[in-house]
Structure 1
Amino acid sequence: MNIKADIPNRGECPFGGTRIGGAQGSEPQLDHWWPNRLKVELLHQDPIEANPLGKSFDYAKAFKTLDLDEVKKDIKAFLTSSVDWWPSDYGNYGPQMIRMAWHSAGTYRRADGRGGASEGMQRFAPINSWWDNGNTDKSRRLLWPIKQKYGAALSWADLYILAGNCSLEIMGFPTFGFGGGRVDAWEPDRATYWGPEGWNGKKPSESAPGPLEGHPNQMVTRTLRWEGEPKDEYYDLENPLAASHQSLIYVDPEGPNGNGDPMDSARDIRTTFSRMAMNDEETVALIAGGHAFGKSHGMTPPEEIGPAPEGAPIEAMGMGWHNPKGTGFAQYTMTNGIEGSWTPNPTKWDNDYLTNLFKFEWEQTKSPAGALQWKPKDPNAPKTPDAHTDEMHPLMMMTSDIALITDPEYRKVCEKFLNDFDAFTDAFSRAWFKLVHRDMGPKVRYLGPEVPEEDLDWQDPIPDLDHEVVNESDIATLKSKMMNAGLSVSDLVFVAWSSASTYRDSDKRGGANGGRIALEPQSGWEVNDPGRTEKVLKALRLIADEFNDAQSGNKRISLADAVVLGGCAAVEKAAKDAGVDVTVPFTPGRMDTTQELTNVEFFEWLQPVSDGFRNYHREDIVYNVPPEQLFLDRAMLLSLTAPEWTALVGGLRVLDTNWDGSKHGVFTDRPGTLTNDFFVNLTSPAYTWKKADEDGMSFTLNDFKTNEVKFTATRCDLIFGANSQLRQIAEVYGANDGHDRLVKDFVAAWNKVMMLDRYDLAA
């Protein structure tokens, strides 16, 4: 079919005159014309309509039907095979699958919990086309027969990690365990900010400077993510990013911007790995352990490699990076541009990587593709076999490897592992397990017979339920006591919300279960107004203790449950005071954890720097985006829809729950009462809004006729009237028939947030 010939007038639709072609993507679109608009539609990503498995499909139930031993047997049989279209290095696909699994999980970042392997996002743009993920498309296609056999019972996300584990095991490494339960997404992640996006296809070499820049298939690796230069005192990575360059998983293996400086590389490594929740020992274990296997590929200049999967021609069927040299694979493979292996035995778990790193003096050289790498100066150093021919080659190290013995702290860890192989093995086993499970949340979510019994502090352990929970009669009694304890509606709602809203769906951390609102570091967070929170906790603890002491059996209520119940009781009273009788759902069974089971450093990353729900915005931080953008981000982390977000904000404002007791957004004369006044006043044409400062961060609501100031507001209040999509929802709640609807929707959204972390109920 000749498209040009078959369309009578190119650009005109043969069925009626509507223009096609340019309007399908080449002309500027909505985001081009209005780049600063609030993209509320991001709250509705990955809708059920995109999922071919349907709303009723239960992945956990399907996964439990698998015989995991049989699945692993099939994977291991595949790993030691080879296919003509992409032969295995050394007759073993293991190293290739370890890299795929590592890069799938390695996108995780601790600041906002985004990234990681949990949804199989390596299948979609932009991640599938990052230069650092070169040829992972081949790894996924190689695994298709396994996925095809087990179908919906084995997600791609779980298969990636299981294949990585199996790869380690067939090469003699004892893995720490495996937990299934990763549910595949069905569309690209449009919300996560990965840094300035270039065109992701190729990386320029020194032999191909400027002319390639800007080419649609070109990825230019620049230090776009850093402030300062590597040797500057102030050299920091843009928050919340956790990889040193766009299109990389961690760091440039040749050194920052390919500068070949090991100390500069060490600084990048420490920054990126720490932002991915790894300490120095875990970092060394992962790098040294991962580089015990396989090889790097750099036999073809990067400017010759074809476009990444998202830019490849349709006949490539989703695979990119076509290599025109030789066969295009095997001994001609091009991935990151560096060529060679780290050890003489690339498919065996041993300590040769560290032995070689310390034993030889290393000098810089270049790969056939022009990439900077290192080789031993000693000509008698052991050789490494070619992956596909009978040739032997010098050992290879990257600048990021030399960094480990150049940086004093990393060197200490390397020496420890060099002298104690068992300690190294244990450290890598645990670090790998953490790497590939870090974004899965509490251990109760893990599935399968290989879940380790040991509780790890990064899993945020909460003791198992060990008592009978309260019944409906008990709940009614406790509510009455709470509402007569001298606590205001606002205070009870504030503390319950502060406890539950720490949850983030990105890595399933936080939430009210565990009662960590009473523990460090959360008890000291400014946004939680420690004095106000402690007053409420003291009263609730007294009520809970008196109730528990009065029980003759094993019935109890935890402080975690009491905090949520207090909020629910307060919402009911606030609704009743507004003329609406409503019962707020409450599901008991939360447990109180301990300070000893709470890793303060890990939990500190859940502290918000901006929280529009409580009108909190730290003044000591420089932001590159307005507060409403950060507010949208928090709504996404709570997995809220646009109506849920809107209803919650309107309700929380009239319930007077700002973190500092300010009246910003409290558009009512009846604070503490669950009215729809926020929306009535927000949408009223009888008022006019005026800036209260030059930056446009605070505002006053003035009577249109008298100019009298009625209310004050922040951007996180006004956005619900200013944004076109949010205003449509606000008008629903602000209408004459909107009050009952608001109360109903607020209660439903409130209950959703209170229950976001109740994975114990599904266990």
Structure 2
Amino acid sequence: MTQYKDYDDVLAGKCPFGGDTLGGAQGSSPTLSDWYPHRLRVEQLHRDGQAANPLSDEDYAQAFATIDLPALKDEIKQFLTTSVSWWPSDYGNYGPQMIRMAWHSAGTYRIADGRGGAGQAMQRFAPISSWWDNGNTDKSRRLLWPIKQKYGSAISWADLMVLTGNCALEIMGFPTYGFAGGRRDAWEADDATYWGPEHIDMTAPSSYDDMVSRDQRWTGKPGDADYQLQQPLAASHQALIYVNPEGPEANGDPAASAVDIRITFGRMAMDDEETVALIAGGHAFGKSHGAVAADRIGPPPENAPMEAMGLGWHNPEGAGHGADTMTNGIEGSWTPNPTTWDNDYLENLFRFEWEQTRSPAGALQWTPVDPAAPRTPDAHREGVEHPLMMMTSDIALKVDPVYREICERFLGDFDAFTLAFSKAWYKLTHRDMGPKARYLGSEVPAEDLPWQDPLPEPTHQPLDAAGTARLKEAIRGTGLSASDLAYTAFSSAVTYRDSDKRGGANGARLALAPQKDWLVNRRTVPVVQALRGVAEQGGASLADTIVLAGCVAVEDAARAAGHEVDVPFTGGRVDATQEQTDVPTFEWLAPLSDGFRNYTQADLTEVTPVSPEQLFLDKADLLGLTAPEWVALTGGLRALGCNHDGTGTFTDRVGTLSTDFFTTVLDPGLQWRKLDEAGTRFCLEDRESGEQRHEATRDDLVFGANAQLRAVAEVYGSADGGARFVRDFVAVWDKVMMADRYDVKAG
């Protein structure tokens, strides 16, 4: 009888059809990434496109508006207090399980690049779906399928998961702060986000105890001045959401755990009070599962056998669920009332002394020393009780002096604790949604919160055609160069990132701290000052004036190259105030490296191992660009002289929208020589004469060195490419200037 080849054969590089194959449909090795691990994967710009989305023709906001939200919430709440035989609910309540699902969906968010978070329901796809820390979240989503099936495309998985988390809190007596719909689902796995340098065998059994290789993402040791987590990472280890609950490297040290907690939660945009509120609030509910040793548990969803139908972590012990459930290896509950909102977690943590013990699975945890301490009921067996449980990461809140002070304050004021957890949960689950213009539904709070980067109401009348024309002439009357105007406008807009919808030109935060003080923006300071006067005289916002000035620069540069163009301009931007700008979190938008402006932070290699060109690709991705848009935008910015230090223009006619950048990069008569041993700076020489022409960076040479980018550059560098280049540059320029305008566009 013919049998299908095992994945062991495929992973070993054996083609099921005989012979070797280059990453065919069967998922076999070697792939391009196996053969060329340092290859710049430009194709990532085209993932998750319209072709992957079966709902690309649907208006999600319109579809969501058809939902009777109270009725949907009632259905979710009824489901939460049921139980099914194939995955029974703890304590007859799925609420705690669904809180964990929603938390872990949102908890991947990281402030450094805005990636992660609940916004696209990426918990459904690899690699996040199969992280050890997400054990059994696949069961939570499968339990929700009947509700998702009923409402179909009217509610995304991303919205449903967060809404279910809110409903779970509410049925257990917790007053949530609010809920907003508007998250759009992704439709394919994320193979582009950098989650860390570790290489973990996801086919093998794992546990928190196995996660001890921290050297690659951490520098120094806990307590050292140089102890830091590599950027842009947020979790303490690969396959975790936050920290190892057993302590760093499962060492059981609460003080060291507190250090990791502060760093990781800080990287996820939470301050100390929000951190305590989330941990203490979340652990008021449910239990942890560690009934079975990790090496008995089957592979995660992405490696599970076909007949598992997308469910992973098969548990062969006993019933495989209920009292035999294995999730993170730690066993027990924090409170005697795991389905009720109360202050028992903090009261227990501080009332009792705790000693280290081991779970049935062998994980390190803590139990009260006092035998008279309250006990917690078994989640499935009537009349059975267990000692309370704390994790090392819980004890950390007691030993860290700052966390302890916050806990004691919450102990004395339960209402303050409730409000703090309510707002922190809202922030956790909505942090990556961007401006409130994207929020949908009847439960959106009216309050503007600092982390939402609020904007004021307009104070200027929209510019009509005549007003726009007058303002353009006033801009030209300043005598500012096209290069300076374009550099300033682009600097205002380039902070946008599609990951969490932060940044962009609306608000003119280029003129405010901290953005005005970034080294890469110093060139813009006198330009902004001059344009402020133009805006005041023209009755326009500074934000609109900065963008319009860039449009003027592009039009004049195109004219100098022999092309008459009208650069699109959509007014209506407003000017944010310093008080509306959350300086500590906005500081994270400062670029480590920005290839568009040929800027790289001096100590880049000390902060991240990622190369400048990889960061350049990453920024193009965050701007939502395709490869042709990336190439066209860079070539135009180089022609306009929009470089931080003047390198990489490759032209003697800066301010003319020429194709000189491309023709120089593609010229076979020129050769490049490294100017430093690391290969970060280069000199262009004539092959025959040895004459030095230009200096460049890796962010310039990549457009000739990378095959896919070079192929696009050849289109613009050809004899007939000039008009196409100007057209394409104008289009992508407008796209970047409009990236954050959710007030006038859908999405």
CA distance in 1, matches of 2:360, 2:3: 41
- Contact 1:131–1:201 (CA under 8 A) maintained in structure 2: no
Question: Helix, strand or coil for the counterpart of 1:375?
Answer: strand
CA distance in 1, matches of 2:665, 2:15: 46
2:674 matched to which residue of 1?
A: 691
1:395 matched to which residue of 2?
A: 388
2:40 matched to which residue of 1?
A: 38
2:153 matched to which residue of 1?
A: 152
1:120 aligns with 2:112: no
2:665 corresponds, among 682, 686, 689, to: 682
1:451 aligns with 2:451: no
Superposed displacement of residue 3, structure 1: 3.6
CA distance in 1, matches of 2:518, 2:614: 22
1:47 matched to which residue of 2?
A: 49
1:628 corresponds, among 602, 613, 634, to: 613
2:469 matched to which residue of 1?
A: 476
CA distance in 2, matches of 1:129, 1:695: 37
Superposed displacement of residue 13, structure 1: 8.8
2:559 corresponds, among 569, 576, 584, to: 576
- Contact 1:653–1:678 (CA under 8 A) maintained in structure 2: yes
- Contact 2:684–2:694 (CA under 8 A) maintained in structure 1: yes
Superposed displacement of residue 112, structure 1: 0.8
Any residues of structure 2 matched to 1:485-496 within 5 Å, and which?
A: 485-496=478-489
CA distance in 1, matches of 2:652, 2:312: 62
Question: Helix, strand or coil for the counterpart of 1:751?
Answer: helix
Superposed displacement of residue 234, structure 1: 3.2
1:79 aligns with 2:80: yes
Question: Helix, strand or coil for the counterpart of 2:579?
Answer: coil
1:364 aligns with 2:349: no
Any residues of structure 2 matched to 1:61-80 within 5 Å, and which?
A: 61-80=62-81
1:433 aligns with 2:426: yes
Name which of structure 1's ranges 534-543 and 388-397 shifts more when overlaid on structure 2. Answer: 534-543
Mark the CA change 1:295 to 1:687 in structure 2 (over 3 Å): closer, same or farther.
same
1:547 matched to which residue of 2?
A: 538
Superposed displacement of residue 232, structure 1: 4.2
1:136 matched to which residue of 2?
A: 137
Superposed displacement of residue 693, structure 1: 2.4
Write the deviation string for residues 530-553 of structure 1: whole angstroms up to 9, x where unpaired. xx32221122111121122xxxxx
Any residues of structure 2 matched to 1:147-296 within 5 Å, and which?
A: 147-195=148-196, 196-200=198-202, 204=206, 221-223=212-214, 224-296=216-288
- Contact 2:22–2:32 (CA under 8 A) maintained in structure 1: no
CA distance in 1, matches of 2:4, 2:343: 61
- Contact 1:342–1:395 (CA under 8 A) maintained in structure 2: yes
Superposed displacement of residue 472, structure 1: 1.2
2:136 maps to amino acid: N
1:733 corresponds, among 712, 716, 738, to: 716
Superposed displacement of residue 475, structure 1: 1.1
Superposed displacement of residue 669, structure 1: 1.8
2:727 matched to which residue of 1?
A: 744
CA distance in 2, matches of 1:18, 1:398: 51
- Contact 2:683–2:696 (CA under 8 A) maintained in structure 1: yes
Mark the CA change 1:406 to 1:120 in structure 2 (over 3 Å): closer, same or farther.
same
Any residues of structure 2 matched to 1:698-717 within 5 Å, and which?
A: 698-717=681-700
- Contact 1:121–1:127 (CA under 8 A) maintained in structure 2: yes
CA distance in 1, matches of 2:669, 2:237: 51
2:297 corresponds, among 305, 328, 342, to: 305
Write the deviation string for residues 88-107 of structure 1: whole angstroms up to 9, x where unpaired. 00010000000000000000
CA distance in 1, matches of 2:132, 2:566: 54
1:335 aligns with 2:341: no
2:634 matched to which residue of 1?
A: 649
1:118 maps to amino acid: G
CA distance in 2, matches of 1:681, 1:298: 62
Question: Helix, strand or coil for the counterpart of 1:760?
Answer: coil
- Contact 1:131–1:203 (CA under 8 A) maintained in structure 2: no
1:43 maps to amino acid: L
Question: Helix, strand or coil for the counterpart of 1:701?
Answer: strand
Write the deviation string for residues 572-609 of structure 1: whole angstroms up to 9, x where unpaired. 00000110000000000000010011111111000001
Superposed displacement of residue 22, structure 1: 8.8
CA distance in 2, matches of 1:714, 1:252: 40
- Contact 1:628–1:715 (CA under 8 A) maintained in structure 2: yes
1:265 maps to amino acid: S
Identical-residue share of aligned pairs (%): 65
1:216 matched to which residue of 2?
A: none
Mark the CA change 1:4 to 1:599 in structure 2 (over 3 Å): closer, same or farther.
closer
1:603 corresponds, among 566, 583, 586, to: 586
1:102 maps to amino acid: W
2:623 corresponds, among 608, 618, 638, to: 638
CA distance in 2, matches of 1:368, 1:508: 44
Question: Helix, strand or coil for the counterpart of 1:748?
Answer: helix
1:461 aligns with 2:444: no
Superposed displacement of residue 569, structure 1: 0.7
Question: Helix, strand or coil for the counterpart of 2:502?
Answer: coil
Mark the CA change 1:453 to 1:421 in structure 2 (over 3 Å): closer, same or farther.
same
Superposed displacement of residue 348, structure 1: 0.3
Could you list the runs of 5+ residues in structure 2 that have no partner in the other structure?
none
CA distance in 2, matches of 1:659, 1:225: 30
Superposed displacement of residue 45, structure 1: 1.3
Name which of structure 1's ranges 315-324 and 188-197 shifts more when overlaid on structure 2. Answer: 188-197
CA distance in 1, matches of 2:95, 2:553: 57
Question: Helix, strand or coil for the counterpart of 2:696?
Answer: strand
2:275 maps to amino acid: T
2:737 matched to which residue of 1?
A: 754
2:312 corresponds, among 292, 315, 320, to: 320
Superposed displacement of residue 47, structure 1: 1.4
Any residues of structure 2 matched to 1:3-42 within 5 Å, and which?
A: 3=3, 24-42=26-44
- Contact 2:205–2:296 (CA under 8 A) maintained in structure 1: no
- Contact 1:205–1:370 (CA under 8 A) maintained in structure 2: no
Could you list the runs of 5+ residues in structure 1 that have no partner in the other structure?
210-218, 549-556
2:514 maps to amino acid: P
- Contact 2:101–2:165 (CA under 8 A) maintained in structure 1: yes
Superposed displacement of residue 319, structure 1: 0.3
CA distance in 1, matches of 2:21, 2:396: 54
2:670 maps to amino acid: Y
CA distance in 1, matches of 2:670, 2:15: 49
Mark the CA change 1:175 to 1:707 in structure 2 (over 3 Å): closer, same or farther.
same
Mark the CA change 1:108 to 1:421 in structure 2 (over 3 Å): closer, same or farther.
same
CA distance in 2, matches of 1:301, 1:427: 36
Question: Helix, strand or coil for the counterpart of 1:700?
Answer: strand
Superposed displacement of residue 18, structure 1: 8.6
1:351 corresponds, among 343, 350, 356, to: 343
1:538 aligns with 2:529: yes
Superposed displacement of residue 25, structure 1: 3.9
Superposed displacement of residue 404, structure 1: 0.4
CA distance in 1, matches of 2:562, 2:23: 56
1:672 corresponds, among 648, 655, 670, to: 655
Mark the CA change 1:85 to 1:750 in structure 2 (over 3 Å): closer, same or farther.
same
Question: Helix, strand or coil for the counterpart of 2:376?
Answer: strand
CA distance in 1, matches of 2:464, 2:22: 64
Residues matched between the structures, number? 733
- Contact 1:250–1:273 (CA under 8 A) maintained in structure 2: yes
- Contact 1:198–1:220 (CA under 8 A) maintained in structure 2: no
CA distance in 2, matches of 1:302, 1:712: 55
CA distance in 2, matches of 1:234, 1:570: 45
Write the deviation string for residues 195-216 of structure 1: whole angstroms up to 9, x where unpaired. 124123565569xx9xxxxxxx
Superposed displacement of residue 714, structure 1: 1.1
- Contact 1:175–1:429 (CA under 8 A) maintained in structure 2: yes
Mark the CA change 1:666 to 1:503 in structure 2 (over 3 Å): closer, same or farther.
same
1:214 matched to which residue of 2?
A: none
CA distance in 2, matches of 1:12, 1:361: 58
